[in-house]
A = this chain, B = another copy of it.
Amino acid sequence: MKDPLKFAGISEKEIVDVIRESLTLPKKQEQKPKVLNEAYVVSTTKFDLRTEKLSEENKAAHQDLMDGYVKSLNEISAGLDSADRENANPNNSTFRNLKMDETHNLNAAFLHGMFFENISDVRSTLAMDSLAYMRIERDWGSFDAWQRDFIACAMSSRNGWVVMAYNMFLKRYVNVVVDLHNSGIPFSSYPIVVIDCWEHSYYRDYLKDRKSYIFAMMKELKWSIIEDRIRKVERMMEASK
């Protein structure tokens, strides 16, 4: 090892130049210090859940929770635009905290959206010649084996989510146990079937009987939406080759 520490004492501003130049990129002509332009804006959707397995108060409160996550996400995204990056550190840093909260709210917002989309189909049906059915049989051996595994994952979350996702590393569908909104998530995983397992999902209507709640949600999965998601993922995987 020749000079592992040769950058020591070089400021962050300088190293950014050093690296850019070493890449043969020209020095950018930045006339004026420009604000970062990172902020994205995410909007919420109002869901009209027909299910009778959840009370109306529960549904309304849940929609409010989702709207709150979307609002927080947008506030954090705006806050990140101007957050001090130069003193970012693991122990005491506004930048770090905003980044961690960004993921918390990002997952919360989108998982809630995908959850509301894929439940509450009072005429839920699944055909044996659907891609959903065939992929589940391929990756778990049988539809029933998948059901048992999915239920076990739902019962295992401390307060979080159960998600059947496509994992691009393993090139197969997997069931995932999430605690809260961002603990236990495999990288490169695209959600396909999503059920909220936070206590706020079921405590009003089922008290601590999470299993009955999970059964109720599974009986009304909107397989048409799930099929769309699977078709999308399969197209993506085909294109990735």
Q: Which residues of A contact B (CB under 8 A)?
A: 1-8, 10, 12, 15-20, 22-26, 28, 30, 34, 36-38, 40, 42, 52-58, 61, 64-65, 68-69, 72, 75-76, 85-86, 88-97, 99-101, 103-108, 110-111, 124-128, 133, 139-145, 147-149, 151-153, 155-159, 163, 165, 167-170, 172, 175-177, 179-180, 182-191, 198-200, 203-209, 211-213, 215-216, 218-219, 223, 232, 235-240
Take A93-B156, A153-B99 as given contacts and tell me if A12 and B148 are in contact as well, using a CB distance cutoff of 8 Å.
Answer: yes
A169 touches B125 (CB 8 A): no
Residues of B within 8 A of A25 (CB): 126, 128, 133, 143
Please determine whether A8 and B212 come into contact, CB atoms closer than 8 angstroms.
Answer: yes
Given contacts A100-B177, A209-B5, contact A155 B36 (CB under 8 A): no
